[in-house]
Structures are given as structure tokens and as C-alpha cells.
Structure 1
Amino acid sequence: MILEKQITIRKLIGALALSLLVSVVYAQNPVFTHVFTADPSPHVWPDDDRLWVYTSHDEPGSNNHYGMTGYHAFSTTDMVNWTDHGRILHLENVAWAESHAWAMDAVYYRGNYYLIYCMKEAGIGLFRTGVARSDVPEGPFTDLGYIKGVEFGQDPAIFIDDDGTPYLFWGHDRQCYGAELNDDLMSIKPETYVDLTSQLTHVFEGPWVHKYNGKYYLTYPGLTPRRWPEKMFYAVAEKPLGPYEFKGCFIDDFDGQSGTNHGGTVTYKGKDIMFYHSAWLSGGLSETRCVMADYLKYDQNGDIIPIVPSKEGLGIAKRTKTTLHLEAENGFAAGGELYNVIVDTWIKDYSGKGYVTNFDNPYDHVSILAQVAKPSKYRFKVSYASPDGESNHDVLINSHQYKDFVFPQSEAFREIDFGIVELKAGDNLIRIFKRNWKPSQGQLAIDYVELEQVFEEENQ
């Protein structure tokens, strides 16, 4: 993920022109238009009809990748309407790390969901491959530590073979390695460690392994040679740890690409899809990237047919739309806070793992983090219950206080639409708190907050 800042004037002009085009033409690329995302890790989990994409997060206005501090999870059932589940792991949740929340992967393994990610170890500055666990795919994830035996463990990817064997791949600065993991995923088996660098022409970082027709495909970003920006290459093997035969480039230079590229593949509803990233959303700024998706196709020999990025992307609909679904009970783990309130479960049919209640004193509150790329308007909805009577609370979004938020009596959880609110670029804290001047008849329970993208024509 090292960034080459010397992008030619021609490419920069092309990127800016493409950005203007994307802004006025309905399109499915970029996939997520409300937040800066990179390094997509796509997956389909057992007994789940959703496609999941896990991403790193770029800070708006950043001019380096040092400011990357957390990860997001997205899901969809139709590739058009997406849910952003918000922050799922952050640097502040990882005691051993100090910076650089770069690329990650995810896996369902033995009944749990794991985020396999990289950060720099505090006091040392060495990249480590971390492991975090959740019992639900949307997180948030709890850090378990880092994988032993992996030195400079940048850009990790995990692959579970058909026999259930877990393999880890990682790479950085023109190097790539692989090894079999032990059952707890917390260490590699040293005897299986392999250096794949010499087998992967132009390799730089970001390996990803998938299986097609019985063969193992290792895709990766590379330089030719050390000429930025990165292209996407691939190699094929008969076994997960190789040896690999280099095949070639399948995503070449394109207008609006970022200095880096990184991605992964998934099969969803019978279609193979390649997720990667560009700089289309930011107008060509390599430090603020966005996720892209195109179909992945093979010829009769099993070779990958080159992908030419286009604004149409998967071409399913005229554009994608994302709703932020933010669970109130996640609190600090998702960038929010629970202040003098509790998480409870006695009111049935809540989403997630519970809801927030016991707003007993003035300024008792729940705060929820929403991250967006640019100043935008969103439709603000809250799922709540107030069994005993009407509840009166205030809502503070950043520094703007919205008063007269009345939650009518409701014994069951229901969703109430509070209309359009404005969010600023970057972090937005949404705080729901007890009024200190007007008593409520009921005890409010907050299940979740939703923020639905509003496009210009919808707001006219």
C-alpha cells in the first residue's frame, strides 16, 4: 500500500474529467458513493443470502495513508441497494497497535467470523497481521492479538480450502509469502512457510487467492518495474502454496485509477465478480479511494479475460444506493458511546444484539458514529420503542441540535422518519439524549439509526 505520488499530468486530467462524468451520469461504479473505501474483501457466508464486502476506510481530505484507522462492513442482496454497517474495528480497539489500518480480509471459520487485518505494532513500527472475532458478520469485531510467525504481515488474505485447511497470504514492497495456519488462526505452521516472490512477476503487495475449476488463482497488485500506478496481475497453481505460474495482467492502467490497487473475487448468485478500488469518487486523489466492481470472466483455457473499468460496472441498475444501518448497542466498539444508559433485550424483535435504554437523567445519551466522504443530505430514521407513553428527547448531530423529537408511544419497535438531516465530510456523531426540561411519560428504547442516501432529484 505504499503510495507513488508522481502521477502524470495526463492521468490526473483524465481522472478529473472522469470524476465529472461519474458525478452526472448514473452508474454502478464506484459501488459506494457516500464514503471513501479501499481494499475490498468480498464474501458470501454460509446460510446467508447476502453478499458481504469488508473495506478499509480513507479519511476525507487526507494526503497520505497514515490516517487510515478503521474498517467497514457492507452487505447487499441485489448488488444495487447496499447497507453500510458502520465501523467494525478501529485502531483504538487494538491495544498492541499504533497506526496504519491498511488492507484486511474476512473469513467464517468454525462458527465465528474473523477479520484478518494489518496494523503497525506500537513502539516498533513493524506491520503485524491481527485477528479479530465476532459472532455476527456485521461486527463489531474484538481483537484477539496478532498472528505469530508472520514478519511484516502487511496486506493479509486468508483462504480456506475445500478440506477446511486455512492458509494465510501476505505481501509488501515487492514480496509475497504464504503459509498454512494452525486451527486457532493465531500462528502459522513454520514448516509450510513459502516465499512466493520469485514466482509472481512484478508483485508488490496485496495477494488474494481464489479457486476456479480446481486450480488456485493468486491475484495481486504489481509494478512494471516500480512504475506507478499499480496494475493487477495473476498467477495459477495446482496447490494453494504453489508453485505458481505467472499468467499476466488483467487490470491495466485506466483513467481515474489511484496509485494503488487491491481487491478480491467472489461468486454471488452464479456470477464471478472482481472487487477493486480506484480514485473516481475523489476526482483522482490516490489517498481517498472508492470500491469498484466488474464481472470476472475466463476464456476456454481458464485464463482471466482482462477487465476494463467502466462507469456501468455490473450494469444491473442505473446506480447503487447505500443506507447506513448503525446499531445503538455497539457503542465504543463502533465509534460511539453509551453514557449512563444500558443495553437490554426484554422488548422483543430488536435487530442486532439488543437496544439502548434507561435514559433516566438529563444528558443520559447514546452516541453513534456515521462516516461519510462529502457533505451530504440523508434521510434520518430511528427504530425505537416506548411502551409506557410518549418520549421526548433531543438529537444532536455534530454541533446542530434538533429539538422537538417526539417518540410516540409504541409497545413494539417501530421505525420513525425524522426527515432530512445534513452530515459533514468525515466523522459525524449522532447523539440521542434525554431532555432536561420536559419529562417523558415513557422509557425510550433505541434499537438502531438509519441514514439513507438522498440524491439531488429526490430532494427537489
Structure 2
Amino acid sequence: MDKRKTSLLVIGLFIQLLIKAQNPIIQTIYTADPAPMVYKDTVYLFTGHDEDKSTWFTMKDWHCYTTTDMVNWTDKGSPLSLKAFSWAKKDAWAGQCIPRNGKFYWYVPINHETMGMSIGVAVSDSPTGPFKDALGKPLVHSGNGDIDPTVFIDDDGQAYLYWGNPYLKYVKLNKDMVSYSGEVVTVPLNKEGFNVRFKDVDKRPSAYEEGPWFYKRKNLYYMHYAAGGVPEHLAYSTSTSPTGPWVYRDTIMRIIGKGGAFTNHPGVVDYKGKSYFFYHNGALPGGGGFTRSVCLDEFRYNKDGSIPRIAPTKEGVKPVSNLNPFIRQEAETIAWEEGIEVGESMEAGIYVTEISNGDHIKLRSVDFKKGAKGFQANVASVAGGNIEIHLDSLEGVLLGSVEVKNTGGKESWATVSAAMKKVKGVHDLYFVFKGGQGDLFNFNWWKFSK
């Protein structure tokens, strides 16, 4: 094969990789420290938020995303921020949310204005908030390493809260989920339970670093965690009891190379018969150790309950169901995007904004069933533009184009419509935005008609 043909082949393969890329799963902001939660028929993903151009772990709020197909994620905004805690100084770091008693409890580490890192708890009647400080003070403070809480409710109703770096500690939560009984217990971090460190520069007794993720599967308790030294990899230990003793099992995910971050944080859920592993890297443009992004890959437990080595992918996971285009879908439901941002208002809630010429949104596995002929979009605009609707790729079959005219302002919402070429079956869907220079319009929701 001559050099010219080889070059064309390489370029073609590179383009195909870009088209198939689905990791990181959120592209509008930098997200870190994934904490997935399955509630009823939906996966809720709670994340930290690295501020743009951070040179430290500069984090001021937490965010929430939802999905029912594992590939299209709906932005639910920021249900909780440091402002909810009167005692907070800084550092909205890795937390976890869990349902109980008809409410939702979000355990988060925050730098207290006088005590340093502490574990707080916020409560809401809805998994998407708003959340409020349940106590007006920290739930627990045991030392400067009180970070990364993980929470689990056992079959007998007893709830456990684990946390910590460089230590691993736990308490038994009471049924009210905002208090605990007994003393703070420190877990022995020994070779048998948590292996040894590859780089023993800080003289820690084991590989355990931070970011624990605790749950039970069948009769086995799992403790996933970031292991070190730094840069971190992800490992796990198991126990036949919720309080140990722990037995080290293996590395789950190696240190991520190019596009990686020197920290990591695991999150694991089962959903619709499949098992999913969440983590973060630094793969988005401008990404790195302080500007991280959540990723997702599928895995299968071995028959003995052990976990195979999971290789991080750019392709992500396959859909477990299809998206229904005949009901209202939020514009901020996204599998992949380029260029756009999200905004929020009292009237529209969360919406897509900062749309420029050439930006696009991709949705995966949209089921048009027996056919669709029309399209509606709720928009607000001064400059105006067009929404081109393509099938299966950015330059795929053009179903039609919706003109967005001046609606009287960027918060003056109007519903526009257009006829479409008839489409059947399951397809990926691309909204490609066209227009002049600058911001074109805001985009709230869309819907196809039969």
C-alpha cells in the first residue's frame, strides 16, 4: 500500500473514532467524582463540577444528570451548592446520594470555615432537588481527611457511611439518615485488605488512597476505591460483613494514560440487567488533573463475584432502550455535543444556549417506529437561525430544517414547526445549528409528530 493510501486510511479511521466517541458522557462542563443512583426506572448521576481553567480542585457546586437508556443524558442542573451550607468555606468535593423514607440524602465533603474538611448531609423530596442542609452543621468531623463519603443501606435496614483519605472510617447511620450511633470506626488499612503501595513515598500502610464506593451484591460486600500512590488506579476489596475484615481482590482499572487525570473515583450500579462502571478522566479539550470528565463502561462479574480488569474506552456503552421522539424531549438531553452550553431560567428551566453556527447535538438510538412527518421545537431568539435535522451522521440524510425567527428576546419562548421527510426505524439523530455570527437562539425542547 502506498503512503498516500495509508494516510487516507489513517484519516478515515480517525474520523470514525470521533464519530463513535461517547466518553466522556458529559461535554458541556467538566464533571468529576461520579455517584450513580438507580431510582425506580431511572439512573441519576450526581457529579462534582470542576470550574473551567482550574489549577486546583476548585469546585463550588454539584450537578445531576438522568438517563433511562445509558447513552442519552438529561442535564438537571445544579441541585446543590456550597451556598446551601452556612458553615461552608469551600470545596464541593465527591459525595453520594441515596433514597430513604421517601426522601433523598446527599452526603458531601465540605471545607468547614473553622474545622477543615467535614461531612455534611443535604436532604430533598426529589432526587433532582433542590436540596437543603439537613443539620445546619457537619454530620461528622473526625480529622482533616474527611472526604469522599459513600453510603449504603443493608438488607436489615442498617445504613453505613464510609469515607476518608488517608484513612478509611465508617459510622452506623440511624434510620433518620442524619445522625449516627456509636463511635467513628477506623478500618485497618493492611496488606491483606488493601494491598501495598507501588510508590511508598508517603509511607502509607496500604494501596488505599481515597474515593471509596461501598455496596453489596448477593452475599458479598464490595469496597471500590482509588489506589495509589499518585497517579491513582482503581482497585477493590471484598468482605462477607459490612464492617470487614476486608480482603484485597485486584486492580479494576489501570492508570489512564493520555487524556487521564492523576485522581479517579469509582461508581458502580446495575441497571436493566447490566453492570456499569463509572470513573473520570481528563479527555475533554482543556481537560486534565483539575478539569476532569465522567466516563462510563459496561462490565460483567465473573461467576465467583470477582470483577475483571476494565479497559477505559472512547466508545462507551450501548443503549439499553430507545428514545421516544413522539413525546416532549428536553433539548438538554444529549449523547454528544459540540459547541453548545446549558442555561437556566424560571420559565424554561434548563435549556440549551450559546448556540453558534456549526454547533450540533447528537442523540442515540431514537425510535421513529412506523414513521414521523413533522417536528416542533421550543425556542427563543433575537438573531435567529435554523435547526437542520440529520439521520445517523452530521452529513446524513436531511429530514428537514426548522427556521427560528426573532421571538422578541432570548427569554421569549415560542414553538416553531416544520414538515419532515418521512422516517422510520431506529436512528441516531443530529441537530445541526446554522446561522450567522454570534449566538443564534436558545433551545428548550423538541418533539416529532406522526
Kindly tell me: are residues 376 and 166 of structure 1, through their superposed partners in 2, closer, same or farther at Cα, counting changes over 3 Å? farther
Contact 1:56 1:70 survives alignment (8 Å): yes
Instruction: Say if 1:407 and 1:209 are closer, same or farther in 2 by CA, change over 3 A.
Output: closer
Tell me the residue number matched to 2:248: 246
Query: 1:324 is matched with which residue?
Result: 332
Q: Residue 24 of structure 1 is aligned with which of 18, 29, 34?
A: 18
Whether the 8 Å contact between 1:82 and 1:322 is mirrored in structure 2 is no
Query: Structure 1 368/291 Cα, relative in aligned 2: closer, same or farther at 3 Å?
Result: closer
Q: Partner residue of 1:304?
A: 307
Residue 106 (1) aligns with residue 111 (2): no
Distance 1:101 1:22 in 2: 37
| CA offset digits 1:241-280 (Å, max 9, x no partner) | 1110111211012322211000210000011111111111
- Counterpart of 1:35 in structure 2 is 29
> What root-mean-square deviation, in Å, do the aligned CA atoms of Structure 1 and Structure 2 show?
3.7
Q: Does 1:187 align with 2:179?
A: yes
Q: Counterpart amino acid of 2:212?
A: P
Cα deviation code 1:200-240 (max 9, x no counterpart): 230111111121221001000011xx3x2100011000111
8 A Cα contact 1:120 1:127, kept in partner:
yes
Unpaired segments ≥5 residues, structure 2: 1-13, 195-205, 324-328, 334-341, 362-375, 384-405, 419-430
TM-score, normalisation: structure 1: 0.66
Identity across matched positions, percent: 32
Name the counterpart of 2:126. Answer: 136
Distance 2:267 2:182 in 1: 26
Which residue of 1 is the match for residue 274 of structure 2? 271
Rate the CA distance shift 1:85–1:336 in 2: closer, same or farther, 3 A.
closer
1:65 and 2:57 aligned: yes
Question: 2-side partners of 1:210 and 1:278: how far apart?
Answer: 23
Gaps (5+ residues) in structure 1? Answer: 1-19, 326-333, 339-355, 357-365, 384-392, 397-401, 409-414, 423-427, 432-448, 453-460
Secondary structure of the equivalent of 2:52? coil
Question: Which runs of structure 2 are paired with 1:142-157 in the superposition (5 Å)?
Answer: 142-145=132-135, 146-148=138-140, 150-152=142-144, 153-157=146-150
Question: Is this contact kept in 1: 2:117–2:141, CA < 8 A?
Answer: no
The answer to whether the 8 Å contact 1:177/1:196 transfers is no
Secondary structure at the aligned position of 1:25 is classed as helix
| TM-score, reference length from structure 2 | 0.68
Equivalence for 2:209: 204
What is residue 404 of structure 1 aligned with on the other side? 408
Shift of 1:297: 2.2
In the other structure, the counterpart of 2:152 is: 159
In 2: Cα distance, 1:249 partner to 1:70 partner: 31
Q: Is the 8 A contact 1:179 1:190 kept in 2?
A: yes
Q: Which residue of 1 aligns with 2:402?
A: none
The whole-number CA distance in structure 2 between the counterparts of 1:135 and 1:376 is: 40
Pair 322,451 (structure 1): closer, same or farther in 2 beyond 3 Å:
closer
Of the three residues 89, 113, 132, the one matched with 2:80 is 89
Alignment of 1:114-133 (within 5 A): 114-122=105-113, 124=114, 126-133=116-123
1:290 counterpart = 2:293? yes
SS of residue in 2 equivalent to 1:86: coil
Residues 236 and 58 (structure 1), Cα distance of their counterparts in 2 relative to 1, 3 Å cut: same
Aligned to 1:343: none
**Cα separation, partners in 2 of 1:22 and 1:289, compared to 1, 3 Å:** farther
Structure scoring higher RCO (CA < 8 A, sep ≥ 6) equals 1
Residues 187, 404 of structure 1: alpha-carbon distance in 2 compared, 3 angstrom cutoff: same
Q: 1:294 to 1:371 in 2, by over 3 A?
A: farther
